[in-house]
Structure 1
Amino acid sequence: MSEECKWLHEILEELPLIKYPFRLESLPLNGIYFFYEKGEIWGHGGEKLRLVRIGTHKGNNFRNRIAEHFLINEKKMDFGRNNPKPSDRSIFRKNIGRALLNKNKDPYLKVWEIDFTPRTNRDKYSHLRDIEKEKSIEKQITEILRKNFFFRFIIIEDEKERIGSKGLESKLIGTVSKCTICKPSMNWLGNYSPKKEIRTSGLWIIQHLNAEGITEEDMPVIEKLIRKTKTWVKNR
């Protein structure tokens, strides 16, 4: 998959690289996003940033997913024992928090793993929570994401075409995860993840790592999507 990975990185560079702060209104309603991380360089020569996460969403929910990752609505930091923390609504944030806690050998990782979105979990485990500690971790995650992460996107309106084991998202993830050349740096925070899949893949992802990568037949489809996205961005 190394040649396909190289091709994917290069063709995505035709699209704008979005950095915080940005306007949610400048983003589409449906699509696939591609995250890069400061200090993480691809392995195909030169100093290009490597892809560290690829993701999508259900419904017309693209903007909301990005907003949850970057915590655009900072009122969500005003949570208590009976509310989910922001990272319960963003697995991206959750994974960064896992790595931060594991790096510090912090036993609070066991509580961090609990998803407090379901009422049953809040009723059963809320007494274990240290809300001030969670808010401190969430603040660190937000700072890391806003400072170190950038993204691009392609527009795909049809949910079946982008999501699930047969969607384009899984093929894109498989392409990057199976590349034998793109590797994380020694300083990558993900090296401290308690999730083996993240440490070994060099990606902030657990799903679709073993998926079939893109093929020659997929390349014209991706090129067409990129042309469509470039036109959409130009006309905004």
Structure 2
Amino acid sequence: MFIILDYINAIGRFYNLLNTLERQVSGKRKLKDCTGYMDWPDRGVYFFLEPGEARGLTDQMRVTRVGTHAVSEGSSTSLWDRLKQHYGTGSGSSNHPHGGNHRGSVYRKRVGEAIIEKHALHDDYPDWDKRWSSIDRDRSEVRDEEYILERRVSTYIREQPFLWVDVADEPSADSDRASIEQNAIALLSNFEGQTIDPRDDGWLGKYSQSQEIRESGLWNVNHVEEEYDPDFLDLLENAVGDTTPP
């Protein structure tokens, strides 16, 4: 009983911190309204939320993806670099405007897979989940074939509100960013555990090929089966205090 209460209290604290963060950065953003010219922190953790889907009996949006970047030593990837991979291509792309590259963004890949499953589009996109090394066709032909779905993925992801925290530590698997990401996923996941904040039946992730995504309620696969360390909430609170509007 006390374990469940601790769990519920930890989730409550997590979302209270997001409320504080939202006020601090003057509101959530959507990728469709963002550019690399904004004053993004070099490194951070981001939280995507699902519009129209509230947690429990509240009107607070539920987190559906947690992510970070540069957790390998020597990596120079910035927060915006990672967000731009999820955003996809802009209007100025000569060949595939507002498309993207799902082979460079697991988030895009998973959303595309769910769209394929939901609308039975397997025959239209036979190579969607394959690496280039396993595709015996011209790459430009595959990109042209997948362009319409890439656009649908862009539309979906760019409409997801998100928040982020500034965590300016060095790239490492033991970084504070990695800890916040891993433990937030473990805390929010419903995979093989107590169902907190039930997921709406209409959530696109319900159509995912991944059991981890379907059951966890997150567009994450890694860390959904793990136990969370409540101390990560102190790291998150400190990061919220360090975060300013872009």
TM-score, normalising length: structure 1? 0.83
Which deviates the most, 193-202 or 19-28? 19-28
Q: Which residue of 1 aligns with 2:106?
A: 91
Say what the alpha-carbon RMSD is for the aligned residues: 2.5
Q: Say whether 1:138 aligns with 2:150.
A: yes
Aligned to 2:35: 23
Between Structure 1 and Structure 2, the one with more helix by share is 1
Amino acid at match of 1:222: L
Corresponding position of 2:3: none
Give the Å deviation of 1:130: 4.6
Gaps spanning 5+ residues in structure 1: where? 80-84
Aligned to 1:218: 232
Residue 66 of structure 1, CA deviation: 0.6
Assess if the C-alpha contact under 8 Å between 2:184 and 2:228 holds in 1: yes
Map of 1:155-234 to 2, 5 A cutoff? 155-158=166-169, 159-160=171-172, 161-162=175-176, 164=178, 167-178=179-190, 180-215=195-230, 217-229=231-243, 232-233=244-245
TM-score, normalised on structure 2?
A: 0.79
**Residues 125 and 46 of structure 1, relative CA distance in 2, 3 Å threshold:** same
- 1:10 alignment partner in structure 2: 16
> What CA distance in whole angstroms lies between the structure 1 residues aligned with 2:201 and 2:139?
37
Q: CA deviation at 1:95?
A: 0.6
Whole-Å Cα distance in 2 between the matches of residues 134 and 220 of structure 1? Answer: 43
Structure 1 residue 155: deviation in Å? 1.1
Q: Structure 1's 156 and 192: CA in aligned 2 closer, same or farther, altered over 3 A? A: same
Equivalenced residue count is: 219
User: Are the structure 2 counterparts of residues 187 and 74 from structure 1 closer, same or farther at C-alpha, using a change threshold of 3 Å?
Assistant: same
The correspondence of residues 79-158 of structure 1 with structure 2, limited to 5 A, is 86-108=101-123, 109-116=125-132, 120-121=133-134, 124-126=136-138, 130-147=142-159, 149-158=160-169
Q: Which runs of 5+ in 2 are unaligned?
A: 1-6, 23-27, 71-75
**Aligned sequence identity (%):** 24
Answer yes or no: is the 8 Å Cα contact 2:167–2:177 preserved in 1: no
Residue 47 (structure 1) aligned with residue 64 (structure 2): no
